[in-house]
Amino acid sequence: MLNKEKVIFQDALRTWGKTSQVFMSIEEMGELIQALSKNFRGKENLDNIAEEITDVEIMIDQLKLIFDVEKRCSEIRVEKVDGLKNRLEVLSWKKVRHT
């Protein structure tokens, strides 16, 4: 997260408190679930999906600050993306072998 954003997020945490922001995170995730569900049912709502993804990203950055896990999340992300890459390579290799 950008340093400028971090300062703003820390101010939000001081203003509304950690507990409030955790619950706001849950609410924003629910709104994203709802937007995705509507899209799955055929509603054209890409702007709403983009807005809800952004809201969730902002709240996730605050959660990282609340729980002091920003560095650990970065480490885990590298591991998980690498794991995804490896799984995709295995699937690709299996497809080549079976054709």
18 and 52 both lie in a single domain: yes
Cα torsion 83, 88, 93, 95 to 10°: value is 150
pLDDT in tens, 15-52: 999 999 999 999 999 999 999 999 999 999 999 999 99
Q: How far apart are CA 65 and CA 18, in angstroms?
A: 9
The pTM (predicted TM-score) of the whole model is 0.89
Length of the chain: 99
64 and 98 both lie in a single domain: no
Number of domain units in the chain: 2
30 and 61 both lie in a single domain: yes
* Domain limits for position 16: 1-68
1 and 47 both lie in a single domain: yes
In sequence order, what DSSP letters do the residues of 38-60 get, joined into one string?
HHHTT---HHHHHHHHHHHHHHH
54 and 83 both lie in a single domain: no
Residue 99 reports pLDDT greater than 70:
no
The first and second tokens of residue 99, run together, are 């054709």
63 and 96 both lie in a single domain: no
Give pLDDT, residue 94: 77
